[in-house]
């Protein structure tokens, strides 16, 4: 009994156990031995080895010895854990537990804040704060500590979670103690993200801007080491910590790949925090070979009361509900290293969701590893993660196997100190008690459940007496007390309950309930494991995705009308054969023995449409419009392979697009040229070895004319200033290039690098432009610096300077009939394309709009209407001409032997309003056909029906639900 009460005391009080301190001691010293032996426990030393009837001797916060049937040192306190199971406590690598970083600044300026307001010699951008040392801002936080301990988490990597470069993290325990004792180590990792957080500076506003800023900071750090001019505490911190692993809060699966690309570029060691959807791109993530920190916050069944509620939930959200619990299984199956974080999970859901993951195929040992050994090894914490002699005594005490639904984490020992969890019961009640009384009891459900003459109680414990309030079925004011009769081991087991009932007539009646005989029966019936097939995963993970990506086939199109875009013009009744992704033969009645034959009689076969100006398939921001010059940002970093508009555009006969930066600043970002390979990863979308492009812009957008009266401080505000921005940028670029040749320590400047490429004709400009003065101006600037503008896009007043454009050799990529949406397009005319074409300028018709992008054949047809050009010429404006502008015309843009099989089969003249693509091939692969579309529609409908019915079933079974209105991808335009 002595031992027992001591343990209770251990549980309930916070003992200060310090051998030696730097603190001033007020009064007599109160040092204790801090020597405890936990006996008779089942101990998981690590995920794979178990000791039965083990003794863990803990001294001064460390495990002194751990052995099976080990003896209790004579001066140690014994705590009997018979029937209990002990695991190493969990380690969470993604937390901001106990961190409180004061935020320094608000934007005090009128207008945009271009530089940091943080006082001191720190980075120019407030989202860059590697100088933050988490340990300096760490304190014990009781509320959060209890939540973590209840989840079984004994140690966390904690740090500032605001900004892009967030500083270093500390490894701390969740023990109730001064930080002096709970900080196990500081400067354990660095911490990065793509999210600029609370920084009041507008830059970076986009994902690609965040990526550019991180990359530039790496280069700045390199430069910093070699220079002596500048003291920069942020860069200094970055340099000093460059050998630490980086915990990168990336987020979704595509961001995981983006973070991994940075790691690769700088040969850095990243541990990537994900959002639990990695199964959707598991192969690509596997190839990164980086360890992951994975949350288990699986979505709850969505609340669906009517068909209209269901309509608001996207198929990918429905599918994620089904597949999210299997995420860890898919990661394990693919041999990806991962650990688990409680981030995003509610205290009560965390363990249940881990159990759910186990029910979805994650082996138990792997789950334990992901909570203990793996995180420890990712951060090289050799003193944590398993239970071995000499390690920090961090373990949890469970009343059963961790993965049984009934099991609770009853206590947690952290640094040798016992702590309660919210699940720590004061007393343990048996499953059932038999009432030894003739009173019929009716108990409130939240207190007890009744089964005939037995009942089951939940209790609260005060001073040795458990109090219950019982509602009598026929009695009122029925209260009862239960007393603890026997307790030989921790925690107290209550074998008999007794009490009295106050009846409605105010008489009191005693009652006794004893444990029903079969109290210790444990439900052995394990939940069966559900293995979800990876055939449920669609690529991309969106409607109309495929589980198995289509392959290139050998196809023979027979008897088609071929719009060659070559000298032969339009050929009737002609065959085309495609093999291995290329056009291999064109001619009449071609032979082919092993081809798939497509009867194209009465149909039109063309090269697919190429959209010179598109903003589809871009993640989080098409503009880094926060500075006048942002040539360092790259759309290629933000390609979104999941965008449904890729599929929709295939259905409109589009095969390739230039994804352009927006037009919010004079020098925008670098373009990405993609083919619409629906289902491929973002990287595979990009056209191999494509020439490099960049977006420039002129006019109202870049001078912020329509941004409201607040946007009047950024240079330029006039067309005069726009010219100076260009001249200044190219002058700096030229000087930078010259210095690069001599000065090896010169700071690498990603912004100027891109401009140097332009000067050397290694990168080509697509310039958003409207009025003739500015068009003329940019050609002059280019001439002065010795390069050519490649393409004027929009170029709605191109017809006014068509002769000058011809002379400069610039291309025109325009709208068919847009105008009147702002002052600078007041003179736009739908005959613009025709005039430019007649003047010998290469003309394309582009979309700048996800909706119009799928009807570019119709926009080309408008040029026939307004400008009376030939149909062939019009057709080239959406195929061959944009291919020329994008320098991909040697491989695509026309039907010619040897070119890529980027082919569309139309049911009609492609310029007709009645024309529909029947098949769209990219690289000889059929990514869209009316036939497969029909099947995919059925697949989408059937999947939705199945999942909605599953959710309704879960609802019926009483599952907790969440209200869901799925977000849709924004559709970007130039000035977004």
Q: Which stretch binds another protein (CB under 8 A): 164-172, 203-211, 659-667, 859-867?
A: 859-867
Only one of the segments 16-24, 688-696, 733-741, 958-966 lies at the binding site for another protein (rule: CB under 8 A); that segment is 958-966
Six token digits for residue 878: 């959406």
Token pair 């619990």: residue: 325
Binders of another protein in range 425-484 (CB under 8 A): none
How far apart (Å, rounded) are the C-alpha atoms in residues 147 and 419?
Answer: 12
Considering the rule CB under 8 A, would residue 932 count as an interface residue with another protein? no
Q: Is 788 in the site for another protein (CB under 8 A)?
A: no
Least Å distance between CB 965 and another protein? Answer: 5
User: Residue 794 CB, nearest distance to another protein (Å)?
Assistant: 14
- The residue among 99 and 874 lying less far from another protein, judged by its C-beta, is 874
CB atoms within 10 A of CB 941: 11
4 binds another protein (CB under 8 A): no
Separate counts of helices (H) and strands (E) for the chain? 24, 43
728 binds another protein (CB under 8 A): no
**CB contact at 8 A, 374 and 291:** yes
Site for another protein in 624-663 (CB under 8 A): 644-645, 647-648, 651
Q: How far is the CB of 973 from another protein (least distance, A)?
A: 12
Tell whether residue 841 is a contact of another protein (CB under 8 A).
Answer: no
Counting beta carbons within 10 angstroms of the beta carbon of residue 599, is it exposed (0 to 12), middle (13 to 18) or buried (19 or more)?
A: exposed
Minimum CB distance to another protein smaller for 206 or for 975: 975
Rounded to a whole number of angstroms, the minimum distance from the CB of residue 711 to another protein is 14
Question: Which among 277, 333, 336, 254 has a CA at the least distance from the CA of 684?
Answer: 254
Q: How far, in Å, CA of 255 to CA of 275, rounded?
A: 10
| Of 426 and 817, CB closest to another protein | 817
In angstroms, give the least distance from the CB of 819 to another protein. Answer: 6
User: Residue 338 or residue 799: which is nearer to another protein going by CB?
Assistant: 799
Q: Which of 315, 421, 565, 847 binds another protein (CB under 8 A)?
A: 315
Select the residue interacting with another protein from 485, 940, 952, 954 (CB under 8 A).
940
Give the whole-angstrom CA distance, residue 14 versus residue 177: 8
Q: Minimum distance from CB of 373 to another protein (Å)?
A: 39
Residue number with CB closer to another protein (508 or 820): 820
CA dist 618 → 253, 406, 527, 657, 923 (Å): 14, 46, 43, 12, 22
Question: Which candidate, 369, 415, 421, 413, places its Cα nearest to that of 395?
Answer: 413
Nearer to another protein, 357 or 651 (CB): 651
Considering the complex, state which of residue 121 and residue 941 has its C-beta at the smaller distance from another protein. Answer: 941
Between 726 and 815, name the residue whose CB sits nearer to another protein. 815
Q: Kindly identify the residues of this chain, within the stretch 897-916, that bind another protein according to CB under 8 A.
A: 911-916
110, 143, 228, 306: residue in contact with another protein (rule CB under 8 A) = 306
- For residue 905, give the 3-state DSSP assignment: strand
Cβ–Cβ under 8 Å, residues 202 and 259: no
**Shortest Å distance, C-beta 678 to another protein:** 12
Q: Of 677, 841, 663, whose CA–CA distance to 765 is shortest?
A: 663
Half-sphere exposure of 974 (CA within 13 A, CB side): 25
CB 502 within 8 A of CB 508: yes
- List the one residue from 311, 599, 735, 783 that touches another protein (CB under 8 A): 311
Binders of another protein among residues 800 to 839 (CB under 8 A) are 800, 802-803, 817-823, 826-831, 834-835, 838-839
At 754, give phi and psi (nearest 5°).
-65, -35
Binding-residue total with another protein (CB under 8 A) = 72
Taking the C-alpha atoms of residue 589 and residue 581, their distance in angstroms, rounded to an integer, is: 21
Q: Which is nearer to another protein, 4 or 940 (CB)?
A: 940
Q: Can you give the C-alpha Rg of the chain in angstroms?
A: 35
CB-count exposure of residue 621 (10 Å: 0-12, 13-18, 19+): buried
* C-alpha to C-alpha distance for 379 and 385, rounded to whole angstroms: 11
- 113 or 275, CB closer to another protein? 275
- Residue 200 burial (CB count, 10 A): 18
With CB under 8 A as the contact rule, the residue among 42, 339, 722, 874 that binds another protein is 874
State in angstroms the smallest separation of the CB of 95 from another protein.
25
First to last CA, the chain: 73
| Contact code string over 703-722 relative to another protein, x by CB under 8 A | --xx----------------
The sign of the torsion formed by the CA atoms of 959, 960, 965, 970 equals negative
Beta carbons of 125 and 156 less than 8 angstroms apart: no
Site stretch for another protein (CB under 8 A), options 393-401, 600-608, 740-748, 865-873: 865-873
- Piece in contact with another protein (CB under 8 A), picked from 132-140, 285-293, 451-459, 961-969: 961-969
Question: Which residues inside 131-190 make contact with another protein, applying CB under 8 A?
Answer: none
With respect to another protein, which residue has the nearer C-beta, 786 or 840?
840
Site map (CB under 8 A) of another protein, residues 531-570, x = contact = -----------xxx--------------------------
For another protein, give the closer residue by CB, 527 or 803.
Answer: 803
Are the CB atoms for 686 and 674 separated by under 8 Å? yes
Nearest residue to 6 (alpha-carbon basis) of 438, 618, 490: 490
């Amino acid at each position: 009994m002595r031992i027992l009460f001591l343990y209770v005391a251990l549980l309930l009080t916070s003992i200060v156990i310090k051998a030696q301190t730097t603190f001033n001691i007020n009064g007599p010293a109160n040092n204790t031995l801090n020597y405890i032996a936990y006996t008779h426990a089942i101990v998981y030393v690590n995920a794979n080895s178990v000791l039965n009837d083990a003794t863990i001797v803990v001294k001064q916060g460390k495990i002194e010895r751990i052995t099976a049937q080990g003896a209790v040192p004579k001066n140690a306190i014994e705590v009997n854990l018979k029937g209990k199971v002990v695991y190493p406590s969990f380690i969470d690598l993604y937390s901001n537990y106990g961190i409180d970083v004061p935020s320094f600044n608000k934007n005090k300026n009128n207008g945009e804040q271009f530089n940091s307001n943080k006082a001191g010699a720190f980075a120019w951008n407030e989202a860059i704060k590697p100088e933050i040392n988490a340990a300096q801002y760490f304190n014990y936080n009781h509320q959060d500590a209890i939540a973590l301990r209840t989840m079984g988490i004994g140690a966390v990597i904690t740090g500032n979670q605001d900004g892009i470069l967030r500083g270093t993290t500390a490894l701390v325990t969740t023990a109730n103690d001064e930080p002096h004792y709970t900080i196990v180590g500081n400067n354990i990792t660095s911490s990065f993200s793509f999210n600029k957080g609370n920084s009041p500076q507008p830059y970076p506003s986009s994902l690609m801007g965040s990526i550019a800023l991180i990359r530039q900071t790496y280069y700045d750090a390199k430069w910093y080491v070699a220079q002596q001019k500048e003291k920069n505490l942020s860069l200094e911190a970055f340099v000093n910590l460059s050998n630490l692993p980086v915990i990168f809060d990336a987020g979704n699966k595509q961001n995981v790949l983006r973070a991994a690309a940075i790691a690769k570029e700088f040969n850095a060691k990243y541990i990537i925090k994900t959002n639990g959807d990695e199964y959707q791109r598991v192969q690509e993530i596997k190839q990164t070979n980086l360890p992951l920190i994975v949350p288990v916050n699986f979505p709850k069944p969505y609340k669906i009361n009517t068909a209209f509620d269901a309509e608001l939930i996207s198929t990918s959200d429905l599918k994620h509900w089904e597949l999210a619990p299997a995420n860890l299984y898919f990661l394990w199956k693919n041999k990806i290293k991962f650990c688990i974080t409680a981030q995003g999970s509610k205290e009560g859901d965390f363990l249940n969701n881990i159990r759910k993951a186990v029910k979805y195929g994650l082996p138990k040992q792997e789950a334990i590893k992901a909570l203990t050994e793996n995180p420890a090894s990712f951060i090289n914490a050799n003193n944590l993660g398993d239970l071995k002699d000499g390690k920090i005594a961090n373990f949890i005490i469970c009343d059963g196997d961790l993965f049984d639904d009934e099991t609770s984490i009853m206590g947690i020992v952290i640094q040798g100190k016992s702590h309660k969890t919210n699940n720590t019961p004061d007393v343990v009640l048996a499953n059932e008690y038999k009432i030894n009384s003739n009173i019929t009891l009716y108990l409130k459900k939240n207190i007890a459940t009744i089964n005939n003459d037995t009942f089951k109680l939940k209790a609260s414990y005060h001073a040795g007496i458990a109090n219950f309030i019982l509602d009598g079925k026929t009695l009122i004011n029925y209260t009862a007390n239960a007393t603890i009769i026997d307790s030989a081991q921790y925690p107290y087991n209550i074998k008999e309950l007794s009490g009295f009932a106050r009846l409605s007539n105010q008489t009191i009646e005693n009652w006794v309930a004893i444990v029903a005989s079969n109290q210790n029966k444990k439900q052995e019936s394990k939940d069966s494991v559900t293995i979800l097939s990876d055939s449920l995963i669609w690529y991309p993970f969106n409607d109309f995705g495929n589980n198995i990506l289509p392959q290139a086939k050998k196809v023979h199109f027979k008897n088609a009308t071929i719009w060659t875009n070559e000298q032969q013009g339009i050929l009737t009744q002609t065959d085309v054969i495609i093999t291995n992704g290329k056009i291999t033969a064109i001619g009449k009645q071609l032979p082919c023995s092993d081809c798939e034959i497509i009867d194209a009689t009465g149909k039109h076969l063309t090269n697919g449409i190429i959209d010179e100006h598109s903003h589809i398939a871009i993640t989080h921001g098409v503009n880094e419009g926060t500075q006048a010059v942002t040539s360092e940002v790259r759309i290629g970093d933000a390609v979104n392979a999941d965008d449904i508009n890729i599929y929709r555009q295939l259905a409109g006969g589009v095969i390739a697009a230039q994804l352009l930066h927006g037009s919010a600043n004079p020098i925008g970002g670098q373009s990405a040229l993609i083919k619409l390979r629906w289902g491929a990863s973002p990287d595979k979308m990009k056209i191999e070895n494509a020439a490099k492009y960049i977006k420039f812009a002129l006019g109202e957008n870049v001078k912020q004319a329509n941004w409201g009266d607040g946007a009047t401080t950024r240079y330029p505000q006039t067309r005069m200033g726009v010219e100076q921005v260009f001249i200044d940028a190219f002058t700096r670029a030229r000087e930078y290039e010259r210095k690069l040749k001599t000065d090896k320590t010169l700071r690498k400047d990603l912004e100027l690098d891109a401009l140097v490429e332009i000067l050397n004709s290694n990168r080509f400009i697509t310039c958003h432009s409207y009025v003739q003065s500015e068009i003329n101006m940019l050609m002059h600037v280019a001439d002065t610096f010795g390069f050519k503008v490649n393409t004027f896009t929009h170029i709605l007043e191109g017809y006014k300077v068509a002769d000058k454009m011809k002379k400069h050799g610039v291309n025109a990529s325009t709208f068919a009939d847009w105008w009147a949406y702002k002052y600078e397009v007041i003179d736009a005319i739908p005959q613009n394309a025709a005039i430019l074409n007649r003047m010998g300028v290469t003309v394309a018709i582009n979309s700048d709009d996800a909706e119009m992008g799928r009807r570019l054949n119709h926009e080309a047809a408008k040029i026939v209407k307004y400008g009376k050009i030939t149909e062939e010429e019009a057709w080239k404006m959406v195929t061959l001409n944009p291919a020329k502008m994008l320098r991909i015309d040697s491989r695509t843009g026309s039907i010619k032997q040897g070119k890529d099989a980027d082919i569309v089969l139309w049911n009609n003249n492609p310029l007709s309003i009645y024309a529909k693509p029947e098949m769209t091939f990219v690289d000889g692969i059929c990514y869209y056909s009316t036939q497969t579309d029909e099947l995919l529609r059925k697949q989408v409908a059937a999947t939705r029906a199945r999942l909605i019915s599953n959710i309704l079933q879960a609802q019926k079974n009483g599952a907790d639900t969440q209200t869901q209105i799925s977000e849709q991808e924004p559709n970007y335009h130039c000035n977004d």
